[in-house]
Amino acid sequence: MQKTVEPNNRLSPAIVELLIRERSKGKSLRHLGRMFGKSHEKIRQLLAKYGPPQVGLLSENKVAAKLGYPARWPTKLRKQGIIKPIKPGSFWLYSEEQVRQIPALITEARKCKQCGRPRPAGSVRFCRECNQYRRKHKYESLSPEAKAKHVKRCLAWLKANPERAKEIRFRAYRKYRAKQGRGAVIAADDRR
């Protein structure tokens, strides 16, 4: 049998060698598919099976481990199309150049939405300090629209509950004076 493609769809070693050589020159899977009369998917499978081990390429997990990130960070970059590794077999593989780019990309993608400093793992939008500040200063952290809505609601409530509003204002006043270290003056005022 001198056919290059055998009935069970295996290629002769010479053809495999040619395929690998052409691929290493940078030919696309589609181009190779046309050259060898196969689908690009078939070419990809053949290269994964017979091609040289991908030297210098790292899997996603290894990239994350090497850089000290949670594995999902590079995954997210890839899914967002920010970094484009290759997938010759069943794993995504990153070149050394891509691995070098990843820390800067991660820093950019993981900026705190408020202060721009890097977010630690587990924080979704803001860094730890900003989260604490936002929890403590809820009003300050609202969007302008949300602030306007809040003010409107408060004014309506104050109008509907004048007695309670008066109590609250008085309590706030006392608290304010106490904070100023004039508690004694207040007490004196109260006695009058």
Write out the two tokens for 93: 């593989």
- C-beta of 16 vs 142, nearer to Zn ion: 142
| Neighbour count for residue 148 (Cβ, 10 Å) | 11
Using CB under 5 A as the binding rule, the residues of this chain from 112 to 151 that contact Zn ion are: 112, 114-115, 127, 130
Question: Which DSSP string do the residues of 22-77 spell out, in sequence order?
Answer: HHHTT--HHHHHHHHTS-HHHHHHHHHHHSPP-TT-EEHHHHHHHHT--THHHHHH
Residue 56 and residue 94 in contact, taking contact as beta carbons nearer than 8 Å: no
Write out the two tokens for 83: 């970094």
The nearest distance, CB 134 to Zn ion, in angstroms, is 9
The nearest distance, CB 135 to Zn ion, in angstroms, is 13
Size, binding site for Zn ion by CB under 5 A: 5
The nearest distance, CB 116 to Zn ion, in angstroms, is 7
- C-beta of 106 vs 112, nearer to Zn ion: 112
- C-beta of 76 vs 111, nearer to Zn ion: 111
Could you tell me which stretch among 7-15, 25-33, 108-116, 152-160 binds Zn ion (CB under 5 A)? 108-116
- C-beta of 102 vs 112, nearer to Zn ion: 112
Residue 66 and residue 99 in contact, taking contact as beta carbons nearer than 8 Å: yes
Residue 171 and residue 179 in contact, taking contact as beta carbons nearer than 8 Å: no
The nearest distance, CB 125 to Zn ion, in angstroms, is 9
Which parts of this chain interact with Zn ion (CB under 5 A)?
Answer: 112, 114-115, 127, 130
